[in-house]
Amino acid sequence: MLSLLWLVLVLPLAGAVALLAGAQRFDHRTTSAVGVGSIGATLLLSLGILAQYAGRHGETVVQSLWRWMAAGDLTITFALRLDPLSAVMLFFVTFVGFVIHVYSVGYMHSEGPRAYARYFAYLNLFMFAMLTLVLGANLVVLFVGWEGVGLCSYLLIGFYFEKDWCAAAGKKAFIVNRIGDFGFLLAIFMAYKVFGTVDFSGMWAQLAAEPSRYAPWVTPIALLLFVGAIGKSAQLPLYVWLPDAMAGPTPVSALIHAATMVTAGVYMVARCSPLFSQSPTALLVVAAVGGLTAVFAATIGLAQNDIKKVLAYSTVSQLGYMFLGAGAGAFGAAIFHVFTHAFFKACLFLGSGSVIHACSGEQDIRKMGGLAKKLPVTYWTFVVATLALAGIPPLAGFFSKDEILGKVFAAGSADLGGFGRVYLGLWVLGVAGAFLTAFYMFRLVHLTFHGQFRGTREQEHHLHESPASMVWPLRILAVGSAVVGFAGIGTALTFGRDLNWFEHFLHPATPAVELGHHVSLGIEWLLIGLSVAVAVGGILLARRFYLGPRALEIPNAIAGRFPRAFDLVANKYYVDEAYDRVVVKPLRSVAWFSWKGVDTVGIDGPINAAAWFTEITGDLLRFIQTGNVRNYSLLILGGALAAMAWLLL
């Protein structure tokens, strides 16, 4: 079974190719069979592979497929690598991906057959790219998948490309990602220059053998890799594409936010953990960016009114937590949060899709309300996933988020030349972010599902629960959101007994780095109690603000009291506008100058002048052609005499 690892990539790719080739002819039924079937087969195959791999005690299995390129002493093989880290990713990417494919059958059913086939083709291609990224055994194969998910996100975000703003959102995602990719590329070049190989096993073996020799290069490479991760995983300051990515169909948002794409950055940092763990500076940068993003995005989420935008900012914020964990050396905890987040965020997005579906395309939560009775399954699954996201025990998000916060707090006792304290500050940010998360998520729940319906009568008439193909994925993901956390129970919760299966499994691939001292059991319980209390506090505050007959009175009063602050948050701190002013506009000016100045005047000018000169000359010379034969013969004679005169004189 393990030897069939290559088939995991081939199946989705074959599905995509078949759908693209047959897009003109396939009807809905054929498209669904091919599109969902290919991912279903991939899931079954992956489960078989993982079942067999589970008995291997975390060894690394590398499958070299072919020698891809060879130049000088650089040889790159197209090789796949299965180790605990890629095994975890393989599992949830195929599982959540499959569930989203099933859901898409119901959600996209009203599309025409060609658009439907195109949609599933892109979706399959997305899975192929993500699996390439996850299974790549060297930086270059990983980069192929990395660019592949970028391309697919562009195609899917701009799926409704007839609308200008959707096409623009796709373009924005692609361009912003490319900025990060530039850093990643530089990191690959540098890694090759320093290590002479881009193979993970090779690089880490050299690094482990002679740490001091590579010490000066570790931090620059790690930081450049992290630039790539910032772009792909939507961290400050390159997060701006992710909220706009909501322009795509809702299942695509679920796929991008939960299973594929944005998790790639965290995965890559964890994959390169041997490199990052050698550089406290890089770790600190990772943690700081993560912590700041976590709170920054959460505050924006407070004032958004689009159901998907709230979830988008929550994703940015949660990705911040993942990097916070990775930056504290707890790569296992970061991946654990990726893992649990995949379930509850997919559930939330698919739930929001169900809500939008029911409200005839309405996305503004101010025009919703009271949907709990009409959409019972959507409501309950949404609440479970929201509780998981808020970190309420014993749901999945509680275990992963708590582990991250605990590790960050512990890292605060590190020395790091006085910079260890920074981790304590980041821990405070993390706790504040947890409060904000619980608050804005329950604001969303209350405004969407509770109270009175605030939309039009016609919309109210059409309210209905979604079809089975959409409801069952929600149920499955809600169960997942509830239980997957038990895979990684922190040691404190079991009073020191080690039941953290997840971390043990991951350990051979990404050993955690202990930056600070262990904190005592009592303090750990205190931290856990604090973060739960903070989450509950956020939930209660949201209940007071947005539920009951006096709902919205307090928030409106606050917004009225501090109009400027509210304005700032509601407009996302004007970051997009600032980027527009600082980056886009000057870039456009430069482009305009090179068009109108360099191209039109500098290049076209001389060429057009030459053409103009030729034309004028012809215009004048044509008067010689009188049509009179004797005239011509006179000219010939004159010419002959002139030539003779030239020769003789």
Q: Least distance to other proteins from the beta carbon of 623, Å? A: 6
112 binds other proteins (CB under 8 A): no
Considering only 623, 645, 647, 648, the residue that binds other proteins (CB under 8 A) is 623
Which alpha helices (DSSP H) does 200-330 contain, by range?
200-209, 211-232, 241-244, 250-254, 263-271, 273-276, 280-301, 307-327
Q: Which is nearer to other proteins, 452 or 625 (CB)?
A: 625
Give the binding range for other proteins (CB under 8 A) out of 448-456, 572-580, 601-609, 628-636.
628-636
DSSP strand pairing (74-82 vs 61-71): antiparallel
Number of shown-chain residues binding other proteins (CB under 8 A) = 11
Q: For residues 264 and 21, what is the distance between their CA atoms, to the nearest angstrom?
A: 29
- Cβ(91)–Cβ(45) under 8 Å? no
Binder of other proteins out of 540, 554, 637, 642 (CB under 8 A) = 637
Residue 564 in contact with other proteins, rule: CB under 8 A = no
- Per CB under 8 A, 560 contacts other proteins: no
From residue 572 to residue 611, the character string flagging contacts with other proteins as x (rule: CB under 8 A) and all else as - is ----------------------------------------
Shortest Å distance, C-beta 22 to other proteins: 60
Identify which of residues 594 and 626 has a Cβ nearer to other proteins in the complex: 626
Task: Give me the DSSP letters along 16-65.
Answer: HHHHHHHTTT--HHHHHHHHHHHHHHHHHHHHHHHHHHGGGTT--EEEEE
Shortest separation between residue 637's beta carbon and other proteins, angstroms: 6
**Secondary structure, 3-state, 504-562:** HHHCCCCCCCCCCCCCCHHHHHHHHHHHHHHHHHHHHHHHHHHCCCCCCHHHHHHHHHC
Which residue is listed with tokens 């049509």? 627
CB 77 within 8 A of CB 138: yes
- Number of CB atoms found within 10 A of residue 544's CB: 12
Token pair 């880490």 is at which residue?
A: 204
| 649 makes contact with other proteins (CB under 8 A) | no
Asked if 616 is part of the footprint of other proteins (rule: CB under 8 A), the reply reads no
Question: Quick one: 578 or 635, whose CB is closer to other proteins?
Answer: 635
User: Cβ 646 to other proteins, closest distance in Å?
Assistant: 19
Stretch of residues binding other proteins (CB under 8 A), selected from 121-129, 427-435, 531-539, 621-629: 621-629
Per DSSP, the three-state class of 496 is coil
For the chain, the farthest-separated pair of C-alpha atoms sits apart, in whole angstroms, at 118
Please select the residue that binds other proteins; options are 634, 642, 643, 644, rule is CB under 8 A.
Answer: 634
* Span from 147-155, 445-453, 538-546, 624-632 in contact with other proteins (CB under 8 A): 624-632
Cβ of residue 624: shortest distance to other proteins, in angstroms? 8
Neighbours of 608 (CB within 10 A): 11
CB proximity list for 462: less than 8 A, separation 6 or greater: 358, 360
574/632 with CB nearer other proteins: 632
Q: How far apart are CA 19 and CA 25, in angstroms?
A: 10
Please state the closest distance from residue 645 (CB atom) to other proteins, in A: 15
Q: Using the rule CB under 8 A, is 622 a contact of other proteins? A: yes
Nearest distance from C-beta of residue 603 to other proteins, angstroms? 33
- Judged by CB under 8 A, the residue of 360, 571, 614, 626 near other proteins is 626
- How far from 489 is each of 403, 409, 493, 518, CA to CA, in Å? 9, 18, 7, 17
Instruction: Rule CB under 8 A: choose which of 417, 563, 630, 646 binds other proteins.
Output: 630
24: tokens are 């003109």
Least Cβ distance, residue 613 to other proteins (angstroms): 19
Stretch that binds other proteins, among 70-78, 247-255, 390-398, 617-625 (CB under 8 A): 617-625
Residue 546 contacts residue 442 (beta carbons within 8 Å): yes
Verify binding: residue 617, other proteins, rule CB under 8 A.
no
Cα 391 to Cα 549: distance, rounded to the nearest angstrom: 28
Distance between CA 536 and CA 354 in Å, rounded? Answer: 27
Any contact of residue 629 with other proteins (CB under 8 A)?
Answer: yes
Q: Using the rule CB under 8 A, which residue among 3, 24, 212, 625 binds other proteins?
A: 625
Residue 620 lies near other proteins (rule: CB under 8 A): no
Q: For residues 611 and 634, which CB has a smaller minimum distance to other proteins in the complex? A: 634
**Type of residue numbered 394:** P
Tell me how crowded residue 532 is: count the other CB atoms within 10 A of its CB: 18
Stretch of 56-64, 426-434, 597-605, 629-637 lying at the interface with other proteins (CB under 8 A) = 629-637
In whole angstroms, the minimum distance from the beta carbon of 638 to other proteins comes to 10
Q: Shortest Cβ distance from residue 634 to other proteins (Å)?
A: 6
User: Is residue 648 within the footprint of other proteins (CB under 8 A)?
Assistant: no
CA distance 450 to 562: 27
End-to-end, the C-alpha distance of the chain in Å comes to 96
Q: Select the residue interacting with other proteins from 564, 607, 628, 649 (CB under 8 A).
A: 628
Q: Which is nearer to other proteins, 617 or 633 (CB)?
A: 633
Residues in touch with other proteins (CB under 8 A):
622-623, 625-630, 633-634, 637
